[in-house]
Structure 1
C-alpha cells in the first residue's frame, strides 16, 4: 500500500471518529442526558464488568488515569458510581455502579441507541459486517 493511500485512509478514519463523537456530544448536550459521552462510556463499561479497578477501567475505555479519575469523581458526585476499597489490596479501589447508575443506564439506553443508529442508517448488514471486520483487524494489528 502506498503512503498516499495509507495517509488518506488514516485521515478518513480519524475524521469519521471525530464526527461520530462530535455528533454524540452535541446530542447528549442538547438532549438533557445529564451525563457526557465520556461519562456514558464509563457507566456502560461498569454495566458490563460490575467491579473494576480504576486502572482496568482506564484500559477498557482508553482513558488516561488522570482523565478517568476526574470522570469517576464526577459520576460519584452525581451518585451514579462509587469507589470501594479493593478486597485484596486496601491501597486500591474498585468502581461500580450504584442503583442510581443502573437506573440511569436503563433510562438512557434507548436514547443513546437512537444517537448511535444515526451513523449506521444507510449501511446494509453486509456493510456493517465488513466495517466491523476491518476495524477489528486494524485494532489487532496495533496490539502490543
Structure 2
C-alpha cells in the first residue's frame, strides 16, 4: 500500500468514527435521554460488570482516570450510580448502578439499538464478518 492510500484509509476510518459518535450524540440530545453517549457507555458497562473498581471501569471504556471521575460524579448526581467502599480495601471504591441506573439502562437499550441500526443499514453478514476481521487486525497491530 502506498503512503497516499494509507493516508486515505486512515482518514476514512477517523471520519467514520467521528460521524458515528456525532450522530449518536445528536440522537441522545434530541431524544432527551438525560445522558450523553459517554455516560451511556459507563452505564452499559456497569450493567454488564457489577461491583467494578474505577480503574477497571476506566480500562473497559478507554477513558483516563480524571475524565472517568468527572463522568461518574455526574452520574452520581443524577442518581444512576453510586460509589461503595470496596469490601476488601478501605482505600478504594467500587462503582455500582443504582436501581434508577438499571431502569435507565433498560429504557435506553432499545433506543440505542435503533441508533446503531441506522449505521449498519445496507450491510450484510459477510460485510460484518470482514469489518470485524479488519478492525480486530488493526487493534492487534497496535497492542
TM > 0.5 fold call: yes
Aligned to 2:128: 128
Distance in 2 of aligned mates of 1:44 and 1:23: 19
Aligned residue-pair number: 143
- Structure 2: 5+ residue runs without aligned partners? none
Task: Indicate whether 1:79 and 2:79 are aligned.
Answer: yes
- How far 1:2 sits from its partner (Å)? 2.1
Task: Indicate whether 1:115 and 2:115 are aligned.
Answer: yes
Distance in 2 of aligned mates of 1:42 and 1:76: 12
Distance in 1 of aligned mates of 2:90 and 2:13: 42
Aligned to 2:138: 138
Q: TM-score, normalised by structure 1?
A: 0.96
Aligned to 2:61: 61
Cα deviation 1:100-142 (Å, max 9, x = unaligned)? 1111111111011001111001111111111011101111111
Aligned alpha-carbon RMSD (Å):
0.9
Aligned to 2:7: 7
Aligned to 1:98: 98
Q: TM-score, normalised by structure 2?
A: 0.97
Distance in 2 of aligned mates of 1:9 and 1:122: 21
Distance in 1 of aligned mates of 2:88 and 2:13: 41
Task: Indicate whether 1:22 and 2:22 are aligned.
Answer: yes
- How far 1:51 sits from its partner (Å)? 1.5
